[in-house]
Amino acid sequence: MEFEFSRDFALNLDREDSLATYRNEFIFPVMNGRPALYFTGNSLGLQAKKVKQILLEELEDWGKLGVEGHTEARRPWLPYHEFFSEPLARLVGAKPEEVVAMNGLTVNLHLLMVSFYRPKDKRTKILCEGRAFPSDQYALQSQLRFHGLNPEEHLIEIMPHSETGIVDESEIIEVIQEKGDEIALLMMGGVNYYSGQLFDMEKITRIARNQGIVVGWDLAHAAGNVPLDLHNWDVDFAAWCGYKYLNSGPGGVSGVFIHQRHHGQRDIPRFEGWWGHDKSSRFEMPDEFKPIPTAEAWQLSNAPVFSMAPLLASLELFDKAGMEALRKKAITLTAYLEFVIKEVSIATGQELRIITPLDTNRRGCQLSVVVPGRGKDLFDKLSSEGVIADWRNPNVIRLAPVPLYNSYTDIYKFGEILKKAL
């Protein structure tokens, strides 16, 4: 598509956008008396308007019913997590029994690694992308130390290229093929939080699994952003957070995927709790743990209803809009942002370097922009003009135009503000 950096052109794209009305389902922060230009849905998604109603209903049921709410609430709390299985499964390309909403992301990564990182004999190493999200690095390093292994020796990190900031996929594949029999686990981010690089999860999974490596994906920046097909890709496990693209609110509940082939095993190493126990006998309080033959076996505690309720409102919107249509809009919306950034760069003579891959197949809806020679002052200027974006030291601005609630006009307005600020 031929883009133009003009208000009319952006308005026209908005008029033709079949997803444009979803914006009205969300609450935008207000800055300077106007709705902010919100580009941080990759960090904390916006609140759906329906969240308040759902939360109030849960509070009302608790007040009215007390403990009876476990079975009598309009959404009974006892099977509360089950309300998420179908929509989450659709979102990540899984069977409903392969997903469960529980805990926080890093907690889940640990729980999953207890089961799926099992160093043995020569096969001890973990392969990941260099400069992964800090929490993932800490989780991987501490898992290694937990097994008595030195991270310096047993963690293989494929570093991003020093200039481009991008990890070369062929390098990952080479390491898998060369050192495959030493690697116990591959655990990577599906979309890198910093550069916005989207990895070919299907291909990497296939090659790694062919080498006998267990494959787990951190989908914090991928779930609700890019199409996923975890079951068919034959991924072993995955986890994601609910509060980024999935709009579950601060600290909202995470989700996990565990491939069917790992279900129903009693001898799998796993940290267990009563919520993973067979539902029909759970309240007989038996001594012996009998795992639910689904991903639910990894649940420990009963569902934190208030931190899960907001996700229901958001998943309903994802279901209505459909991931395919969202992805289609994300591609155009992000391409428009790329175009506008280039136009501003030409108009101002200021270099604006997009480190996110320009190939739309290798990125979701985030662009990370380096502004050489300009520091936090530029970012602060943007903020004072009502732009909510994300600053990473020393000089990267991360912008995520989210197809559920961002518009082409948002991007046009951002371009005007950026031009003025430069």
Chain residues in the site for ligand PLP (CB under 6 A)? 104-106, 133, 135-136, 189, 193, 218, 220-221, 241
Closest CB to ligand PLP among residues 190, 403:
190
Start-to-end Cα distance in the chain: 27
Q: How far is the CB of 218 from ligand PLP (least distance, A)?
A: 5
Q: How far is the CB of 146 from ligand PLP (least distance, A)?
A: 18
Distance CA 393, CA 216 (A): 29
Residue pair 276/297 in contact (Cβ under 8 Å)? The answer is yes
Closest CB to ligand PLP among residues 365, 418:
365
Q: How far is the CB of 47 from ligand PLP (least distance, A)?
A: 18
Q: How far is the CB of 128 from ligand PLP (least distance, A)?
A: 11
> Tokens 């300009």 belong to which residue?
374
Distance CA 165, CA 267 (A): 42
Residue pair 264/330 in contact (Cβ under 8 Å)? The answer is no
Closest CB to ligand PLP among residues 221, 277:
221
Sheet with 390-392, strands from edge to edge, namely 353-354, 367-370, 396-399, 390-392
Closest CB to ligand PLP among residues 117, 133:
133
Pairing relationship of beta strands 390-392 and 396-399 according to DSSP bridges = antiparallel
Closest CB to ligand PLP among residues 106, 406:
106
Q: How far is the CB of 173 from ligand PLP (least distance, A)?
A: 21
Number of helices followed by number of strands (H, E) in the chain: 14, 17
Distance CA 215, CA 316 (A): 30
> Tokens 């506008």 belong to which residue?
340
Closest CB to ligand PLP among residues 218, 296:
218
Q: How far is the CB of 239 from ligand PLP (least distance, A)?
A: 9
For residue 97, what is the DSSP state?
Answer: G
Q: How far is the CB of 49 from ligand PLP (least distance, A)?
A: 24
Q: Which two tokens stand for residue 370?
A: 């380096």
For residue 367, give the nearest of 212, 192, 105, 239 by alpha carbon. Answer: 192
Closest CB to ligand PLP among residues 187, 295:
187
Q: How far is the CB of 400 from ligand PLP (least distance, A)?
A: 12
Closest CB to ligand PLP among residues 110, 374:
110
Closest CB to ligand PLP among residues 219, 352:
219
Q: How far is the CB of 213 from ligand PLP (least distance, A)?
A: 20
Strands (E), 244-301: 255-258
Distance CA 381, CA 387 (A): 9
Closest CB to ligand PLP among residues 298, 336:
298
Cα dihedral 378, 381, 385, 386 sign: positive
Q: Under 8 Å CB-to-CB from 62, ≥6 apart: which residues?
A: 69, 73
Q: How far is the CB of 277 from ligand PLP (least distance, A)?
A: 25
Q: In the beta sheet, which residues pair with residue 186?
A: 127, 215
> Tokens 């009876």 belong to which residue?
68
Buried b (16+ CB within 10 A) or exposed e, 324-360: eebbebbbbbbbbbbbbbebbbeeeebebebbbbeee
Q: Under 8 Å CB-to-CB from 261, ≥6 apart: which residues?
A: none
